[in-house]
Amino acid sequence: MRDDEDRPRTVTAHEIGQRLDALSVEDLAARIVLLRQEIERLEEARQAKVAALGAADAFFKR
């Protein structure tokens, strides 16, 4: 067993455009999960803003 296998892994945020060749298969899978969660969060924020803009538009058109 290698010494680095005993150390806990630290999950770092993904940086757009970063080199991927040093990441393990497990690290890549973790990044994919992280990015999918972030996409979902962004889509929810976008939907909330669209709804707010629609409500404001409807209010001020009266």
Q: Are 27 and 18 in contact (CB under 8 A)?
A: no
Let me know if residue 19 belongs to a domain.
no
Q: Which two tokens stand for residue 31?
A: 């990044």
pLDDT digits over 45-57, tens only? Answer: 999 999 999 988 8
Domain that holds residue 49: 25-62
* Domains of the chain: total: 1
Mean pLDDT score of the chain: 87
Let me know if residue 61 belongs to a domain.
yes
Per-residue confidence (pLDDT) for residue 24, from 0 to 100: 94
CA distance 41 to 48: 11
CA distance 13 to 35: 9
Largest CA distance in the chain: 71
Q: Report pTM.
A: 0.67
Let me know if residue 4 belongs to a domain.
no
CA distance 29 to 25: 6
Per-residue confidence (pLDDT) for residue 1, from 0 to 100: 54
- The one-character DSSP state at 8 is P
pLDDT at residue 21 is higher than 60? yes
